[in-house]
């Protein structure tokens, strides 16, 4: 695990700014981090009453790490490879990941393109505080290729639309858990896989910020 400190994070659970309690987020990523960028932008523009305390990637070359570092956010790289090599495996990896995350004292752990199924060794440390963004509607297209799977289903004539959801991750089931928000996304006859992906990503950026805001502030 490699860690780059970009700022001194407080050990306190709450950070108080102007006598307001600020929710602490830890974001887990694996790739480009465009949804992370949407969250960082919302925090910067004060559209989201939160602080991203730490960004963790399971890939050292994930571009999302650069996004976080540019924003002055502490980052960590926690790769699975060494755990495979020494035989300690997934449970040990997740237990160590939980320790890294716990040091940042998060109120919520947010999975934004995190390509690793979390075991109970991690999830039990943050019960009902792990939030996942998945590019499919509840009960449809679990896994890493949800947009492509939906595109293929549309081409086969079995669906007319797809969508996305934000849900809690209470256990090891893949892309399942209490749904916090969902949004349908139409698929048009003129769509290519690329245009569908672009529209899905725009919807993801909006929905994750809206859902985190609801978690923090409640429904008005």
| 134 belongs to the catalytic site | yes
Q: What share of the chain is helix, strand, coil (3-state, %, to 5)?
A: 35, 25, 40
Active-site residue, selected from the candidate residues 78, 134, 167, 205: 134
* Residue 22 bridge partners (DSSP): 15
Contact call for residues 75 and 56 (beta carbons, < 8 A): yes
Contact call for residues 115 and 142 (beta carbons, < 8 A): no
The 3 state secondary structure assigned to 20-35 is: EEEEEEEEEECCCCHH
Output the six-digit token pair for 81: 């490879």
Q: Which are the catalytic amino acids?
A: 134
């Amino acid at each position: 695990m490699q860690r780059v400190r970009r700022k001194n994070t407080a050990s306190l659970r709450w950070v108080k700014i102007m006598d307001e309690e600020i929710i602490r987020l830890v974001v887990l990523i694996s790739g480009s981090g465009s949804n992370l960028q949407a969250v960082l932008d919302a925090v910067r523009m004060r559209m989201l009453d939160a602080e991203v305390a730490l960004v963790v990637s399971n890939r050292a070359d994930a571009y999302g790490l650069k996004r976080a570092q540019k924003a002055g956010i502490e980052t960590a790289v926690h790769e699975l490879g060494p755990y495979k090599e020494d035989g300690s495996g997934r449970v040990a990896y997740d237990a160590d990941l939980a320790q890294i995350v716990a040091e940042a004292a998060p109120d919520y752990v947010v999975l934004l393109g995190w390509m690793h199924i979390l075991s109970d060794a991690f999830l039990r440390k943050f019960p009902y505080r792990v939030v996942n963004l998945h590019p499919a509607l509840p009960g449809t297209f679990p896994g890493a290729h949800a947009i492509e799977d939906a595109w293929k289903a549309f081409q086969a004539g079995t669906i007319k639309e797809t969508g996305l959801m934000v849900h809690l991750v209470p256990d090891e089931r893949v892309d399942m858990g209490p749904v916090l928000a969902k949004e349908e996304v139409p698929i048009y006859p003129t769509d290519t896989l690329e245009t569908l992906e672009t529209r899905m990503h725009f919807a993801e950026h909006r929905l994750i910020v809206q859902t985190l805001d609801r978690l923090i502030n409640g429904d008005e």
